Amino acid sequence: MEQPIDYNINLDIRFSPKERIDIDELARECTDQWSNQTLTQVNDSVVRLGVVEGAFHWHKHDDDDEFFYVVSGRLNIE
């Protein structure tokens, strides 16, 4: 039987809009199998870093658009 995944979702904004963000360092520091950290806000949008290993439960956002930029590895969206 597959073990449930612990999803670490942080909606708090971690950096100010013009603050330098080292994405590689943040990803290296992450020890969670699945993590989502809100990094900053740009106008009415937020920028998030997602570290993903394995599947995430199906969900939808009726009033939001999402953009995924894969830095390393592969992301399949069904």
The pLDDT tens digits for 5-35 are 677 888 999 999 899 999 889 888 988 888 8
Question: What residues have CB less than 8 Å from 76, skipping those under 6 apart?
Answer: none
- Residue 74 lies inside a defined structural domain of this protein: no
Q: Is residue 9 part of a domain?
A: yes
pTM: 0.76
Q: Domain for residue 76, yes or no? A: no
Is residue 72 situated within a structural domain? no
Radius of gyration of the chain (CA): 13
Q: Which domain holds residue 8?
A: 1-66
Where is average pLDDT lowest: 15-19, 20-24, 55-59, 72-76? 55-59
Q: What is the pLDDT of residues 27-44, one digit of tens each?
A: 889 888 888 899 999 998
Residue 50 included in any domain:
yes
The domain total for the chain is 1
